[in-house]
Structure formats: C-alpha cells, structure tokens
C-alpha cells in the first residue's frame, strides 16, 4: 500500500508538475509563433538591468542570509531555547514581513519617527535613507532577514548531528579562540550540509515576484517580475520575451546552483589559507551575535505591533510617533472584503499542508521500507526550479481544465507541490533517525507492523509531524504566483490581496491583509507549541 | 524450549556472501539461561535478531528455529512470542509506566483491562516502584528503568527471552544488583533465555564462546 501511495505522490506532486513545466518551455520554444532564437535573446538582453538585478539579488541575499546565520548560530549552542524563537519568525510570510519592515524602517517609518521625536533630526522623511520604500536594496534586506530564520533552523538541525562541542574544545586546545574554531572547523562542515537549503534560498531569491512588486524598484524591475508582466500582455513579442526570459531564468538558476555546489569548498580553501588573527574583532564575538538574536526577536514583535497599530490607526501622519486615534473602523469597512480571501487562504493552507505532510510521510515510510536512508533530493526539485517558468508551464498544460472552472482544485494541487518538499525537509531527520528497535519491541509484544506504526511511531513522531504541518501551512499561505496564475483571480487569498493592495501604495489597508496573513500561520505555530508531546526527539 | 539448528549466517556485500557464523545446534531448556560471548562483529547480535524475526537485509541467513517444538522461523515478530530486552529502548518514551505496562499486555492477554492493571501494579508494588506508576520513563533512574522494562517484557508472557547487553547502560554497583534480580525473575518463571554480551561480568548460566565463526567451547556454567 505504501508503495502504491508513494508512486501516486511521485506522479502527482513531483513528476507531473516538473515534467509539465519543462514540456511547456520546450514546446513553446519551438512553436512557430513564439520560437526562441538569437534575435529574441538579443531583444531580451536589452533588459540587461533586470537580468543583472536578478543575478545580484540571487547572489547577495542568500549569501548575506547564510553568513549572518552562521555568525548567529553559536548562540544556538549556548542557548538551545533560542530555537523556539525561529518558529514564529518562520511563520511570518514574506509579504507580511515586507509590509511590516517598511512600516518600521522606511524613510517615513516608525524608526525615523522615533529618532525625530527624540532629536528633531527628521522633520520630513530623509531623502537619502538607505532603505527606501522601493529599491533593489530593500528587496535584498527583506529577503536576507526573511531567509535568516529558515537557514538558522536548518543549521540548528545539523548542529544536533555534529559533535560541535568536542570540535570546539579540541580546536581551542590547539590555541584557537572559540570563534576562530567556529569559523575554521564548524562553519565549513555546516556550509557543506547547507548546500540544499541554500539552493532553495537561491532559487527563491531568483524567482521571487511578490516582494519586488511590493518593495522593489518601479523603474528597474527584476527579471522574474518582467516575465510575470510579459505573460499578461497578449502581443506575440511579449510572449516570446516571457518564454525567453523563462529560459534565461533557468540558465541563471543552473549557473547559480552549480556555484552553490562549490560554495563550501571555496569557503574552506579561503578560510584555511587565511592567516590566524590573534586579536578578535568586537563584532566577531558571542556577545555581538547575542545582541543580533535579541534584535531579531524585537523585530518580529515590532512587525506584529506595527501591523496591528497601522490597521487600527484612523490617522497617522508623519512625523507623529503614535496614531492620533485607534478604531476598528477599517476592520469593519474591510471586513466583508477580508472574509473571502481569509477563508480561501485558510482552507487552501489546511488542505495543502495536510496533503503535503501526508505525502512526505508516505515517501519517508517508503524509504524506510527500502532501507534507503539517504536524503532524497529529487523530492525537493520544485524548490530548485524558478517558479515563473514552472507555473507558466502549468498554466499552459492546464488551459482547458482551468477554463472549465477547476481553478480551486488546481490551486490546491500547486500549493501541495510546494508544501511537500518543505514537509519532507522538516520531517526527514526525525523520520530516518527513528530507531527501528522501538517498532521491533512493539512487535515482540504481539503487535503487527501496521499497529506498531500507528501506536508507537506516529505518536513518538507527533511533534516533528506537527512542525512539518505548520511549516507547510505557512508555505501555502505565502504562495503568490501559483494562486494568482492558476486561480485566474477567482481564488483570492490574503497574499494575493495584500500584494495587490500594498503594491498600489495603500499600506494602511495592505497592513490589514498582511496582519491576517501573518496571524493564520502564527496561530498554527502557537497551537503546535502548546501540544505537550513526549516525542522521540525529546527522549533520544 | 528454544532450539536452533543448522544455522548459517553470512554477510552480503557486492552480491558476494562471506560466512560469518555457523551453529550446528543450540538448545535452551525451560528456565535455562544461555550466554553467548564473543568480541564485536562475531555475529552474536545478528543471531539474536534473527531469532527475534527482524529482517536483516545485509545478511544471508539459513537455519531452523523451533520454540516448544513448534517451527517459528517463518512467523512474524508479533507471532513468535519472544520477549526482548536490548541495550536501549526498553520502555516507550511517550507512554507512562502504567501505559507501558498495559501496552505490553494488550496485544496478547485475554484478561480484562482491570485485571491487566492489577497484574502490573502487583509486580510494581513488589519492587517498591508503585509510586512510578504515572510517570514517564525519562524521570526514572537507570535501575528503575531496567527493572520496569523487564517487568513489561514479562507481562507480555513470552515463551522465551532474548537479551542483548541489557545492563550495559547501568553503572557497576547497580548493574550487579539489577542483573541478579533479572536472572532470578527469568529463572523463577522458567523462561528459556538467550543472552549475548561481550562482558564476562554480565554472563549467567551456560556460557558459550563464539570464535572464528563457530561456537568454540562451553566456557563455564555460572
């Protein structure tokens, strides 16, 4: 039964979506009307600013997040409870995070207002503020800060598998400081193990559309954003451009993934050749990274508070620090419009997270049956292909079913394609490490293999399964492109509405959608945190 | 009585089979404890796991296995009625002591739950561990854990018992005490027991030494 189910999962959630995406690109590239040739490529290269911008974003944001995570990770060794901070941070969708960050840090944001209220330095929003409301740098900052908790969670999982403490002690006995030992001994191994999560972050940064729509530059759109826009234009020229753009995105993804596979080796060469500095820089200390942990926590809290305040503020003009008055008026006015997207978001997230988590369990159980414990990266392949060409393919393949009114079903399917790899990523460690001896013992007491799985393995893995579900739920809530394209505007979610409202410049109503978008996964994470489970992980 | 005959264990690598262990005949009588000793990698734990009925994909194993005259070689683990106590994992961590005791009985016992409870609580009271009835295994000391794990195994009424270095996690003082108690329990209930260990101090009953892929000699009877 598990075998059959795993074949169904492979076909429906891995082979069909990836195959159709690639098939579409190939078919349309050779189609007489939309043929991709050197002229099309030259035409596209005139948009070199978009290509360079996308490339820079896909290099700087993942690297920034990665090294910041490595710098902060020793905090996880000293205070393992910090890991609990990561779940709520992870639950904040990118769009909510971007809206909240802008309300806090933009030139007219709360931080500037605070500085002005104390010093009177900024009677009007500063012109040269490094984090303008719309720029490539702003997109980079949003992505770095948003990918940081994901990478820290991945590092935290790896730290549990490595004898880091003894490595650090051993290196310190050779005369290295704790931090030097961390960067020279632990970081290279962690980087090697972060190859797959980094690949996912790189591809996300390369193909992200909703964040640039919100906080990206209006004049220099990123390539994924341009491809997204071209597909909505019906001229043949735009169609050719969109297909050529999709190919360029795939080529860039391929190059970046290739470089990513050499990242750990390059770092190792670099760090081992580096002279040992006997004086430690102030910023490279455990204390400094602890401050950043605190800042990260404050930032998450501040984002929730500012979104709530903004949604309740009746008037809040610059440079006043607090709103003139608070009222529920906006909630009441927007209430009827919020209900539909909130309901779509919730049900889509619930069902796709359920499907994704169950599919991940099926694949992992099949791996256990085959005694194949190695991480099976093809399950994550949807994360390694830019979303734009992939979903463009789905839209093409599903033209007829979509016009027959099956949008919601296909949106659900597209969400499940993305919830599966994240559930697999979260569950993998706990599932494959689960000691067979527990099941054997249950069987020796007279229980069948199936009964042992239900009565022993499932309850013992309750916590990681719940976390996988919560992550999948958050992933579904944050989906923009699949919902927008396959839903054809008929399945509005909080994410699609937040992007369309906030990208139009209305941050006040945008904050309403963003707050709700953030609260849904947060509630799930909090609920899971409240489940007291004596899980396998706690006892092993 | 547990009987093993014509057992051949080989390791599989690159589709080639390397002989590991052969046992012509090994019989463990009612109430008898047999200890198999030998260095790591000699195949003693593999033998034990084969008796238990685990699937061992990297081994090629042939042999006959009977329990009280009945061939159990083709039966699933659940149907063999063999108790086990291995190095770790005696008690399920997500179940309380009470739940562990009831879980151990539920699959096979025909007694109503009330009587199952009574049986378990009587055994715990005898040991002075009654106050641990509602706690989770992680709050038990090493000695309490080992004792309750054996009680749970015995509650399932096994026809034979398999022990794989069951006391290795205990400290020296406690180890001797628990060891004496456990063997006394097994002998009192007349359960044929096969123990494998590499530590002479853990051995009990008839001691057999595994060397060069065979049972070399009967070392002693303690």
Q: Are B52 and B60 in contact (CB under 8 A)?
A: no
Cis peptide before A303 (omega within 30 of 0): no
What chain A residue is nearest to B155 in terms of C-alpha separation? A445
Q: Are A311 and A519 in contact (CB under 8 A)?
A: no
Look-up of token digits 């970081």: A187
Quick one: average pLDDT of A395-407?
75
User: Any idea where the domains of chain B sit in the sequence?
Assistant: 2-221
Within 8 A of B156 by CB-CB distance, chain A residues are: 444-446
B155-195, pLDDT tens digit by residue? 888 999 999 888 887 887 788 888 888 888 888 889 999 99
Q: How far apart are CA A18 and CA A22, in angstroms?
A: 6
**Residues whose CB falls within 8 Å of the CB of residue B64, separated by 6 or more in sequence, listed in order:** B3, B4, B5, B6, B7, B71, B73
In this prediction, residue B55 carries a pLDDT of 82
What chain A residue is nearest to B79 in terms of C-alpha separation? A446
In this prediction, residue A535 carries a pLDDT of 45
Q: How many CA atoms are closer than 13 Å to the CA of A226, on its beta-carbon side?
A: 28
Nearest CB to A445 within list B53, B57, B104:
B104
Within 8 A of B138 by CB-CB distance, chain A residues are: 534, 538-539
Nearest CB to A460 within list B90, B93, B104:
B93
Q: How far apart are CA A497 and CA A509, in angstroms?
A: 10
Q: Is the pLDDT of residue B9 over 80?
A: yes
In this prediction, residue A534 carries a pLDDT of 42
The whole-angstrom distance between B149's CA and the closest CA on chain A is 11
- Look at A507 and B27; give whichever has higher pLDDT: B27
**For B31, which DSSP code?**
T
B10-54, pLDDT tens digit by residue? 988 766 788 888 888 899 999 899 999 888 888 888 999 999 988
In this prediction, residue A202 carries a pLDDT of 96
A165-202, pLDDT tens digit by residue? 888 887 787 777 888 888 888 999 999 999 999 999 99
B59 touches chain A (CB under 8 A): no
Strand partners of residue A333: none
In this prediction, residue A53 carries a pLDDT of 93
Q: Is the pLDDT of residue A529 over 80?
A: no
Contact B76 A448 (CB under 8 A): yes
Contact A441 B90 (CB under 8 A): yes
B89 touches chain A (CB under 8 A): yes
Element (H, E) at B7: strand B2-13
If phi > 0 it is left, if psi is from -120 to 50 it is alpha, else beta; for residue B43 that is left
Mutate to test the interface with B, among A438, A442, A444, A466 (most CBs of B within 10 A): A444
What chain A residue is nearest to B52 in terms of C-alpha separation? A444
Contact A444 B108 (CB under 8 A): no
A456 touches chain B (CB under 8 A): yes
A438 touches chain B (CB under 8 A): yes
Q: Is the pLDDT of residue A295 over 60?
A: yes
B97-138, pLDDT tens digit by residue? 999 998 888 888 888 888 888 989 888 888 888 888 899 988
**Percent over 90 (pLDDT), chain A:** 39
Q: Is the pLDDT of residue A279 over 70?
A: no
Contact B107 A445 (CB under 8 A): yes
Of A476, A420, A472, A431, the closest CA to residue A12 belongs to: A420
**Residues whose CB falls within 8 Å of the CB of residue A191, separated by 6 or more in sequence, listed in order:** A66, A70, A263, A264, A267, A268
Q: Are B179 and B167 in contact (CB under 8 A)?
A: yes
Q: Is the pLDDT of residue A139 over 90?
A: yes
User: Any idea where the domains of chain A sit in the sequence?
Assistant: 1-35+330-540, 55-222+265-327
Q: Is the pLDDT of residue A409 over 60?
A: yes
Of A424, A421, A416, A376, the closest CA to residue A394 belongs to: A416
Quick one: average pLDDT of A152-159?
88
User: Residues 8 to 37 of B: which have CB under 8 A from any A CB?
Assistant: none
Quick one: average pLDDT of A393-417?
83
> Model confidence at A531, in pLDDT bands (50, 70, 90)?
low
CATH 3.40.50.11740 fits B2-221, yes or no: no
**Percent over 70 (pLDDT), chain A:** 96
What chain B residue is nearest to A462 in terms of C-alpha separation? B94
CATH fold for the domain made of A55-222+265-327: MetI-like fold (1.10.3720)
Quick one: average pLDDT of A344-365?
96
A469-495, pLDDT tens digit by residue? 998 999 999 999 999 888 888 889 999
Quick one: average pLDDT of A118-132?
84
Q: Is the pLDDT of residue A429 over 70?
A: yes
In this prediction, residue B12 carries a pLDDT of 82
Nearest CB to A438 within list B53, B57, B92:
B92
In this prediction, residue A51 carries a pLDDT of 93
Angstrom CA distances, A536 to A223, A422, A464, stand at 45, 21, 9
Of A440, A464, A359, A353, the closest CA to residue A2 belongs to: A359
Select from 3.90.580.10, 3.65.10.10, 1.10.760.10, 1.10.3720.10 the CATH code of A1-35+330-540.
1.10.3720.10
What chain A residue is nearest to B56 in terms of C-alpha separation? A371
**For A461, which DSSP code?**
T
């Amino acid at each position: 039964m598990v075998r059959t189910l795993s074949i169904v999962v492979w076909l429906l959630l891995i082979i069909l979506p990836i195959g159709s995406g690639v098939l579409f690109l190939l078919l349309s590239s050779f189609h007489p009307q939309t043929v991709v040739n050197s002229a099309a490529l030259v035409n596209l290269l005139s948009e070199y600013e978009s290509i360079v911008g996308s490339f820079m974003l896909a290099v700087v944001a993942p690297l920034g997040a990665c090294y910041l995570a490595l710098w902060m990770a020793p905090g996880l060794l000293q205070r393992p409870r910090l890991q609990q901070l990561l779940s709520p941070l992870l639950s904040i969708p990118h769009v909510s995070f971007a809206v909240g960050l802008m309300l806090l840090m933009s030139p007219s944001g709360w931080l500037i207002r605070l500085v002005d209220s104390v010093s009177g330095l900024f009677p009007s929003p500063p012109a040269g503020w490094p984090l303008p409301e719309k720029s490539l740098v702003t997109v980079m900052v949003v992505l770095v800060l948003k990918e940081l908790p994901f990478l820290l969670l991945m590092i935290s999982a790896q730290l549990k598998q490595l004898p880091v403490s003894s490595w650090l002690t051993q290196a310190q006995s050779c005369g290295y400081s704790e931090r030097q030992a961390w960067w020279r001994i632990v970081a290279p191994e962690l980087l090697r193990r972060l190859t797959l999560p980094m690949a996912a972050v790189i591809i996300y940064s390369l193909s992200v559309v909703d964040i640039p729509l919100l906080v990206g530059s209006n004049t220099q759109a990123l390539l994924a954003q341009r491809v997204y826009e071209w597909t909505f234009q019906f001229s043949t020229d735009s169609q050719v451009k969109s297909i050529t753009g999709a190919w360029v995105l795939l080529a860039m993804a391929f190059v970046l993934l290739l470089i990513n596979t050499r990242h750990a080796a390059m770092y190792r060469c670099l760090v081992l050749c580096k002279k040992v500095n006997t004086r430690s820089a102030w910023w490279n200390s455990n204390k400094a990274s602890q401050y950043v942990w605190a800042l990260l926590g404050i930032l998450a809290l501040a984002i929730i508070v500012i979104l709530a305040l903004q949604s309740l503020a009746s008037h809040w003009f610059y440079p006043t620090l607090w709103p003139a008055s608070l009222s529920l008026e906006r909630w009441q006015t927007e209430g009827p419009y919020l209900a539909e997207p909130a309901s779509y978001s919730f049900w889509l997230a619930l069902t796709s997270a359920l499907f994704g988590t169950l599919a991940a369990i099926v694949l992992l159980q099949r791996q256990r049956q085959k005694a194949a414990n190695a991480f099976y990266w093809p399950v994550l392949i949807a994360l390694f292909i830019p979303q734009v060409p992939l979903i463009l393919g789905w839209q093409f393949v599903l033209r007829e079913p979509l016009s027959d009114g099956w949008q919601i079903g296909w949106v659900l399917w597209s969400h499940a394609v993305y919830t599966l790899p994240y559930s697999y990523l979260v569950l993998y460690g706990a599932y494959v490490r689960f000691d067979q001896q527990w099941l054997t013992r249950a069987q020796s007491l007279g229980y069948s293999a199936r009964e042992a799985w239900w009565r022993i393995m499932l309850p013992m893995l309750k916590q990681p399964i719940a976390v996988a579900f919560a992550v999948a739920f958050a992933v579904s809530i944050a989906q923009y492109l699949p919902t927008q394209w396959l839903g054809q505007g008929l399945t509005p979610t909080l994410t699609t509405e937040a992007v369309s409202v906030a990208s139009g410049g209305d941050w006040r109503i945008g904050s309403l959608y963003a707050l709700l978008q953030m609260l849904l996964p947060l509630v799930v994470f909090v609920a899971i945190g409240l489940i007291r489970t004596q899980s396998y992980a706690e006892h092993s | 009585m547990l009987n093993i005959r014509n057992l051949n264990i080989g390791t599989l690598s690159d589709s080639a089979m390397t002989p590991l262990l052969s046992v012509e005949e090994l019989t463990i009588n009612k109430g008898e404890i047999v200890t198999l000793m030998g260095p790591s990698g000699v195949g003693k734990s593999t033998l034990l796991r084969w008796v238990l009925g685990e699937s061992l994909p990297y081994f090629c194993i042939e042999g006959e296995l009977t329990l009280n005259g009945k061939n159990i070689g083709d039966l699933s683990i659940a149907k063999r009625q063999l108790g086990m106590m291995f190095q770790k994992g005696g008690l399920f961590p997500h179940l309380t002591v009470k739940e562990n005791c009831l879980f151990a009985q539920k699959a096979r016992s025909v007694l109503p739950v009330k009587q199952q409870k009574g049986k378990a609580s009587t055994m715990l009271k005898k040991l002075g561990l009654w106050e641990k009835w509602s706690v989770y295994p992680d709050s038990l000391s090493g000695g309490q854990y080992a004792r309750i794990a054996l009680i749970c195994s015995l509650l399932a009424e096994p026809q034979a018992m398999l022990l794989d270095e069951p006391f290795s996690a205990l400290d020296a003082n406690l180890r001797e005490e628990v060891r004496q108690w456990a063997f006394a329990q097994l002998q009192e209930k007349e359960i044929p027991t096969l123990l494998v260990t590499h530590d002479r101090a853990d051995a009990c009953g008839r001691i057999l030494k595994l060397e060069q892929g065979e049972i070399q000699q009967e070392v002693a009877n303690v």
